[in-house]
Every structure is written in structure tokens, then in C-alpha cells.
Amino acid sequence: MNQLNQGDIKFLIATLRTLYASQFNKNFPFDGPNAVPLTMVEQIVANSLTGVSKQQFDRGIVLLSTTGKKFMPSFAEFKELCVGQDWWNSQKAWVKACEYTRIMKHEPVQISEDVFQYQEITTIAKFALDQVMLLITDGEMHEAKRQFVRLYDEYLAEAQLKGRVQQWYQEPQQLTWNNEKKEHVPVVREEAQRALEALKQKLNVNNRQIHKPQKLKAKAKQPEIDTYWPDPFDDKAAYLNACDLDGVVVPIGIRRQMESGV
């Protein structure tokens, strides 16, 4: 990219002074208490046109000279004249992004012989769209637009500052095996018949080796318990004797009732 030189900056100032003499002298007087040195004006212009290429600058000069506006544009407005045709603004980018989400099948445009290019959305708009796609999926369209515009303006300012030009986002290619289309070659009838018979042999249950299931052995029957404590209601004395042998403490009140036969 061809950067602007000091001659281009002076040419812009001279053009503004010629087309809008009174307004320019009012904004940037060269004498008096509010005088602004010409070197300072040139520095302001240089800072305002950062990222503008020579080709864009020449187009801006042509538009400035043919627009016929009565009021002198600011340096920021002149920059928009230079690059406005090269970049979408945030509102147009949002409209194009919404249209892009409704495309069912992406179709490239033929640029020249055997050269095709997708021209559905720009790289910056696609990147900003990816950042807010979750909000769009959730139906938060107002928040999605707000975030999209904010992100797009930031990416646009960064791209212009670096002197980049707008580029179209290219859809990834769908690759095939070895990046070639495979043509179907019919199989000879005899070969297909042999493959079918081999498949039948593999599926034949009689040829399979079936492992016998593991036999489960029943567990030995647990011996019945033949020693039970005596029923305290049938034989109170025997019950108290069994408690004493096993070390079971019987409350003194219950023991007296059982010993008394109550």
C-alpha cells in the first residue's frame, strides 16, 4: 500500500482552502490570538488519514471536488469519502450478516475463467457474526445487533489503521478422498455373486463356533438352627436362665415379675 506523503497532505489543505475559504480560515486562522500554525494543521490531517492509501486518497479528492456541499467536511468525514466505498459500515454489515444466516446453499461467483469467489459476506463481518451467533440462536436479536455493531466497528477501525482492504469470506472447500471425485464402477455379475456367497457363509449359524454357557452350581443348603431361646411366655425360668448364660441383662423390674409368676 502506498502511504500518503507530505505533498498529499498539503494538497488536501489547499483544496479545502480553495473550496471553503471562509470556513477554513474560520476554523484554522493563520493570524490573531486564535491562530493555528500550518504545521499543526498538517499534523492533524496526517493523524486523521492514518491507514488511507494513495488510491483511496485520490478518490476522496475527486469526491470532495464534485460533491457540491456547501459546508466544509471535517477531516474524519473526508476519510469516510476515501474509504467509505471500500468498507461496509456497521449497519450494512449487520443486514448482510442476517442475510448470510438464511443462505441454505452457498454459491460462488465466477470472477474469470475457472476462477470462482464467494461474495456473500466479508471476513470482518463473518468474524463479528461468529461472536454473537449464540445470542442469535437464543433469540436475543437486539443484544446480538448491539454486540455485533460494537465488535464490527472495532475490527473495522483496526483494519483501516493497518491499511487493509475489505476481503470476502471464502467458504471452506469440501474435500473428497485424495481431493478427487470418485466415479462409481459397477461390479461384474460373477464377482458380485461370489462376494454374496462368501457373505452367506459368514452369516451361516451352523458354521459358527458357539461357546457353551457357564453352568451355575447351586450353593450348599445352610444347616437349620436347632438352638433357640426359650419363649419367655412359655417358660419364664428357662428364659431367664438363658439370658444369664449369654450375659443378657434383664431389667430388674421385668425379672421380678417373671420370677414371681405374674
Would you say residue 206 has pLDDT above 80? no
pLDDT in tens, 137-194: 998 999 999 999 999 988 887 877 676 777 889 988 765 555 555 666 777 888 888 8
Would you say residue 84 has pLDDT above 70? no
Sorted by where each begins, the domain ranges of the chain are 6-83, 90-161, 229-262
CB atoms within 10 A of CB 46: 16
Query: Dihedral (C-alpha) 9, 15, 21, 27: value to the nearest 10 degrees?
Result: -30
For range 189-204, the mean pLDDT: 81
**Distance of alpha carbon 216 from the chain centroid:** 57
d(Cα 238, Cα 230) in Å, to the nearest integer? 6
d(Cα 49, Cα 3) in Å, to the nearest integer? 10
| Mean pLDDT rounded to a whole number for the chain | 82
- pLDDT confidence of residue 142: 94
| Confidence grade of residue 216 (pLDDT, cut at 50, 70, 90) | confident
- pLDDT confidence of residue 129: 95
Cβ-based neighbours of 120, under 8 Å, separated by 6 or more: 96, 99, 100, 103, 106, 168, 169
For range 39-64, the mean pLDDT: 85
Terminal CA-CA length for the chain: 117
| Confidence grade of residue 95 (pLDDT, cut at 50, 70, 90) | very high
Rounded percentage of the chain residues whose pLDDT exceeds 90? 19
By the 8 A CB rule, do 30 and 36 touch? yes
Residue 122 three-state SS: strand
DSSP labels, 18-39? HHSHHHHHHHS-SSSTT---HH
More confident: 93 or 158:
93
Q: Give me the helix-helix angle, 141-161 and 90-101, nearest 10°.
A: 120
Backbone φ and ψ of 183, nearest 5°: -95, 140
pTM of the predicted model, to two decimals? 0.43
Give the CA angle between residues 214, 219, 220 to the nearest 5°: 145
By the 8 A CB rule, do 19 and 65 touch? yes
By the 8 A CB rule, do 81 and 118 touch? no
446480538: which residue's cell? 144
- pLDDT confidence of residue 228: 65
405374674: which residue's cell? 262
| Confidence grade of residue 73 (pLDDT, cut at 50, 70, 90) | confident
More confident: 105 or 157:
105
